[in-house]
Amino acid sequence: MQRVVSSEMDLDLSASVDLIFQIATARQVPLAQEELTFAQGGRACPPTEIVDPSGNRLHRVAGEPGLLRVYYRAVVAGPVPATTTSDLDVITYLRPSRYCQSDEVFQQARRQFRGLSGLELIAAVSDFVAASITYTPGMSTGTDSAVTTLMTGQGVCRDYAHVVIALLRAMDMPARYTACYAPGLRPMDFHAVAEAYHDGVWYVIDATRLADRRGLVRISTGRDAADCAFLSYYGGHLSLQRLRVDASATADAFAGVADDVASLVQLA
């Protein structure tokens, strides 16, 4: 299955800014082609690439006042080879984090999912979050957490992922946040899902049910959205003037068979 992913953005910088992007596919994703450019005032702005222990590729750019144009496109050649998960990873993804306060939802999780473990727990949490949260663009903020989302009952993909992760961690199952490109997603944008670790394997949970999990392309992985922001900046101010994200897969990728939400899927 071949997938083509791309993103473009125009940023208006009011002063010199230290910019950090996470829009390129993760290091472990096999690529047939890739192009990443940053341009300002007719000149190229070469980025510095930093790869973290999770394989996330961060691109750092020194921006000057004016319009910065960002372009990324990649052709994914095939499935991602299997990777190992360390004991430290397991411990990290069991702990509470900024947006996934598993300690604060502990009592609710223990009441809601009492007696469940393993694959039954994964399915139950996925179904609960899908039924409890309403997908509502524009109604959540960048600082909303799993606790906030459970109280309001509304959010976008990052909020669904945070709730799933917090509940799973509260039930002693390692869970992590993954930003990705999602062929077929409507409305098209950067997407976020959760992954649950069971019996040595990470399984994808997309409680929004808005994209086919089998076509997802990993951008970054972390404890929550704070680790996976597509853009962070320091030392100045900017405004996002334009953002376009696209992702597609070969027409016969799934042979007309819909993604069965009850099935177990690994991010390929």
CA dist., res. 229 & res. 39, Å (int): 21
The pairing of strands 238-249 and 3-13 is antiparallel
- Please report the domains of the chain, with CATH numbers, ordered by start residue: 3-79+230-249 (2.60.40.2250), 87-227 (3.10.620.30)
- State the average pLDDT over residues 96-107: 98
Do 26 and 219 meet the contact criterion of CB atoms below 8 Å apart? yes
CA–CA separation, 248 vs 6, rounded Å?
Answer: 9
Please give the pLDDT value at position 245. 98
Asked if the model's pLDDT at residue 149 lies above 80, the reply is: yes
Residue holding tokens 């929550």? 224
pLDDT band at 253 (very low <50, low <70, confident <90, very high): low
Contact 192, 180 (CB under 8 A): yes
Whether the pLDDT of residue 64 is over 90: the answer is yes
Long-range pairs for 101-105 at CB < 8 Å and ≥24 separation? 101/145, 101/146, 101/147, 101/166, 102/165, 102/166, 102/167, 102/168, 102/169, 102/170, 103/170, 104/147, 104/166, 105/146, 105/147, 105/150, 105/166, 105/167, 105/170
Q: Residues 205-223: pLDDT tens digits?
A: 999 999 999 999 999 999 9
Average pLDDT over all residues of the chain: 95
Taking the C-alpha atoms of residue 177 and residue 192, their distance in angstroms, rounded to an integer, is 7
Using CA atoms, how far residue 225 sits from 33, 142, 192, in Å, is: 27, 9, 8
* pLDDT classification of 139: cutoffs 50, 70, 90: confident
pLDDT value of position 78: 83
**Mean pLDDT calculated for residue range 170-198:** 97
pLDDT above 80: residue 15: yes
pLDDT above 90: residue 114? yes
